[in-house]
Amino acid sequence: MAEDIKAVIDMGVEVCVVVGAGNIFRGVSGAAQGMDRTTADYMGMLGIVINALALQNSLEQIGVPTRVQSAISMNSICEPYIRRRAMRHMEKGRVVIFAAGTGNPYFTTDTAAALRASEMDCDALFKGTKVDGVYSADPQKVSDAEHYPRITYMDVLTKDLKVMDATAISLARENNIPIIIFSVRKPGNFAEVIQSKGKFTVIGNAS
Backbone dihedral angles phi then psi of residue 194, each to the nearest 5 degrees: -55, -35
Q: Is residue 105 a contact partner of residue 42, using CB atoms and an 8 Å limit?
A: yes
Class of domain 124-207 (CATH, top level): alpha beta
Q: Are strands 147-148 and 134-135 parallel, antiparallel or unpaired?
A: antiparallel
pLDDT of residue 82: 98
Domain boundaries, the chain: 1-122, 124-207
Give the whole-angstrom CA distance, residue 181 versus residue 200: 6
Q: Is residue 56 a contact partner of residue 68, using CB atoms and an 8 Å limit?
A: yes
pLDDT tens digits, 150-205? 999 999 999 999 899 999 999 999 999 999 999 999 999 999 999 999 999 999 99
Q: Residue type for 135, please?
A: Y
pLDDT tens digits, 101-153? 999 999 999 999 999 999 999 999 999 999 999 999 988 899 899 999 999 99
Domains 1-122 and 124-207 share a fold: yes
pTM of the model: 0.94
Check the CA dihedral 30-36-37-43 and report its sign: negative
CATH architecture for the domain at 1-122: 3-Layer(aba) Sandwich (3.40)
The closest of 176, 179, 58 to 110, measured between CA atoms, is 179
pLDDT tens digits, 65-100? 999 999 999 999 999 999 999 999 999 999 999 999
